[in-house]
Amino acid sequence: MRSLIYVATATAALLLQLPAWAAPLPPALAETENRIVSVAAWGGTPADPAKARKHTIKHITLHHQGEPFPEGKDPQLYLRNLQTWSRNTKHWLDIPYHYIIDLDGRIYEGRSIDYAGDTNTEYDPTGHALIEVVGNFEEVQPNQKQLDATADLMALLAMKYNVAPATIHGHKDYSAQTVCPGVNLYRYLENGYLRDQVTQRLQSSLPK
Ligand SMILES: [Zn+2]
């Protein structure tokens, strides 16, 4: 019965372009959402809503940190420093990305997904859900935990915001000024791996 209600609600959401969160999330995607480490949990502070630009998610866009992230570096301290730098040096609302994935595949909340992101390059990130994976993928390979977490998070966002896996791209697809997300992570967009993994997660979360 629950699954019938889910199908009916999800279908209505797709047909009527209702916000997809009108439907309860399938268990596997709810599990992903529940393991996201909140801003409060990593010791960050919320952004000032008065300065925020609201937006509607239409794309999912992958970034890398672009700097080495050595084993043993504290991801929560990294996030607190990134938040301070973003606000005090860049004069941005907050961390430019909505989600950050560490070396262990833990997913952290960054800027509120309700607010448009920021960038040093010329594209407009309004409407993009921005995911950063720590490390410099011009130099190192993403590990399997990072790839799995990236696919889990992308599937959650695709379902929640009612956007197709075809909207998943890398930063450099929008800007010629960057190599982000780095050749070794971009490979998994180029060869269709991440979109396929997201499609599989969405299909397997539908009731049989
Ligand atoms: Zn980027």
Distance CA 136, CA 173 (A): 18
Report the separation in Å between the CA atom of 172 and the middle of ligand 1, taken as the mean of its atom positions.
7
Report the separation in Å between the CA atom of 136 and the middle of ligand 1, taken as the mean of its atom positions.
11
Report the separation in Å between the CA atom of 150 and the middle of ligand 1, taken as the mean of its atom positions.
15
34, containing H or E segment: helix 27-34
Predicted pLDDT at 162:
95
Predicted pLDDT at 142:
98
Mean pLDDT of residues grouped by 10 in the chain (208 residues)?
48 49 82 97 96 97 98 98 97 97 98 96 94 98 98 98 97 96 98 98 85
Report the separation in Å between the CA atom of 165 and the middle of ligand 1, taken as the mean of its atom positions.
19
Predicted pLDDT at 208:
65
What are the angstrom distances between the C-alpha of 94 and each of 47, 78, 168, 178?
6, 14, 23, 21
- CB count, 10 Å around CB of 40? 10
What domains can be seen in the chain, in order of their start residue?
A: 26-205 (3.40.80.10)
Report the separation in Å between the CA atom of 159 and the middle of ligand 1, taken as the mean of its atom positions.
23
Predicted pLDDT at 21:
52
Q: Angle between the 27-34 and 193-205 helix axes, to the nearest 10 degrees?
A: 120
Residue whose structure tokens are 């979109």: 195
- CB count, 10 Å around CB of 176? 9
Q: What does the block give as tokens for 43?
A: 């010791």
Predicted pLDDT at 186:
98
Report the separation in Å between the CA atom of 66 and the middle of ligand 1, taken as the mean of its atom positions.
8
Distance CA 33, CA 208 (A): 22
Residue 60: closest CA among 144, 125, 143, 148: 125
Contact 146, 136 (CB under 8 A): no
Which three-class secondary structure state does DSSP give residue 107?
strand
Report the separation in Å between the CA atom of 207 and the middle of ligand 1, taken as the mean of its atom positions.
35
